[in-house]
Amino acid sequence: MGDDMKTYVVVVIIQAIYTIMFIVSKAALDAGLSPLVFLFYRQTIASLILLPISIVTKWGTAPRLSFIVFIKIFMLALIGIAIGINVLHIGLKLTSETAASAAYNAVPVITFFLAFLMRMETLKIRSSHGIAKAAGVTLCLAGVIVIAFYTGPAIHPLNHHRLFHDSSSQAKVSSKGTWIKGTFLLLFANTTWSLWLVMQGVILKEYPCKILLTTLQCVFSAPQSFVAAIAFERDFSKWKMGFDARLLGVVYCGLCNAGLAWYLQAWCVQKKGPVFVAMSNPLTIVFTIFSALLILGETVHLGSVVGGILTVGGLYCVLWGKNKEHKISNSTNEISKMQNVEQDVVVPIDESVTSNIASQKQ
């Protein structure tokens, strides 16, 4: 399997992991676990798993970590994890996993905008690939708007048995004001997530060791999230764990989300850039819809389906545009190399011919 095909397979795996993360996180929060405590537990588990793996695999071979890069990784963990995911958990508790996965699709638009401002992405609107990228971003944004503002008729689940009895019902949202507040928190969380993706792309150029980057972020974010949890969550009943959805959510998110998914994400960012990873986010809402209908036993509305179709259409437009741009860039580089080789070629001249010309002139 070529590197291009591997990146496409990996981003699908990443979004499948995120889909399950939204589902089990919502179940854990509805079971009574505090959002702030939830992040501390999951990051602690991820740190305990990744730290020995990093020591064993990278001991003596890892690149030197400068103080400047150390501070950058610390800030990366603070912005993307300690702040971003804490806000995400609070917004998820106030809304539902379907709303969270729908708002998650705003990440490609925000990431592309940030990467464009930082000159990590180009947008040549007069070219076919530039038009495709612009159209893809527009379709993604249209999909998010449809999901947010258009409900439509209900599509009843094929499975009428709810997997998690306490999760994922919009009826649990106490008021419209609470729902709106949760939606804005989700959008804020996704903005920090976009910035996190872009910053990862920058830091990976200075420190390309992906497993250590992932491990350090988990190690830094664990005490950062503990400070937030101990400062704002004084009800210690919200810290209790049990053999239920709370434990499932913490273990899964610590092992698969913070551990496996973030490493795979760093690998994709290094290979294709942050926008490529962000543009795969629409797959999450599609996976969530199918999970709701076939596994979770939830009702899905037509607006979510239409919005999912639009976002996936936008995904393929941007991927086609980036692939086209990559091919044009490669062909341009090859032509440039051939021209440089031709200029460097020196045609040898026979010395006898040179001496004959000199004697004739004399």
Q: What pLDDT, on a 0 to 100 scale, did the predictor assign at position 82?
A: 92
Q: Whole-prediction pTM value?
A: 0.72
Domain count along the chain: 1
Asked if the structure places residue 354 within a domain, the reply is no
Q: What pLDDT, on a 0 to 100 scale, did the predictor assign at position 176?
A: 64
Cα–Cα distance for residue pair 129/118, rounded to 1 Å: 20
Q: What pLDDT, on a 0 to 100 scale, did the predictor assign at position 109?
A: 73
Q: What pLDDT, on a 0 to 100 scale, did the predictor assign at position 171?
A: 42
Asked if the structure places residue 251 within a domain, the reply is yes
Q: What is the pLDDT of residues 109-153, one digit of tens each?
A: 777 777 777 777 777 777 888 888 888 878 877 877 776 677 678
Asked if the structure places residue 342 within a domain, the reply is no
Asked if the structure places residue 345 within a domain, the reply is no
Asked if the structure places residue 341 within a domain, the reply is no
Q: What pLDDT, on a 0 to 100 scale, did the predictor assign at position 168?
A: 42
Q: What pLDDT, on a 0 to 100 scale, did the predictor assign at position 121?
A: 73
* Domain that residue 223 falls in: 3-334
Asked if the structure places residue 89 within a domain, the reply is yes
Q: What is the 3-state secondary structure (H, E, C) of the chain?
A: CCHHHHHHHHHHHHHHHHHHHHHHHHHHHHCCCCHHHHHHHHHHHHHHHHHHHHHHHHCCCCCCCCHHHHHHHHHHHHHHHHHHHHHHHHHHHHCCHHHHHHHHHHHHHHHHHHHHHCCCCCCCCCCHHHHHHHHHHHHHHHHHHHHHHCCCCEECCCCCCCCCCCCCCHHHCCCHHHHHHHHHHHHHHHHHHHHHHHHHHHHHHHCCCHHHHHHHHHHHHHHHHHHHHHHHCCCHHHHCCCCCHHHHHHHHHHHHHHHHHHHHHHHHHHHHCHHHHHCCCHHHHHHHHHHHHHHHCCCEEHHHHHHHHHHHHHHHHHHHHHHHHHHHHHHHHHHHHHHHHHHHCCCCCCHHHHHHHHHHHC
Q: What pLDDT, on a 0 to 100 scale, did the predictor assign at position 345?
A: 53
Asked if the structure places residue 166 within a domain, the reply is yes
Asked if the structure places residue 350 within a domain, the reply is no
pLDDT beneath 50: ranges in the chain:
166-174
Environment class of residue 125 by beta-carbon count within 10 Å: exposed (0-12), middle (13-18) or buried (19+)? exposed
Q: What pLDDT, on a 0 to 100 scale, did the predictor assign at position 227?
A: 94
Q: What pLDDT, on a 0 to 100 scale, did the predictor assign at position 220?
A: 95
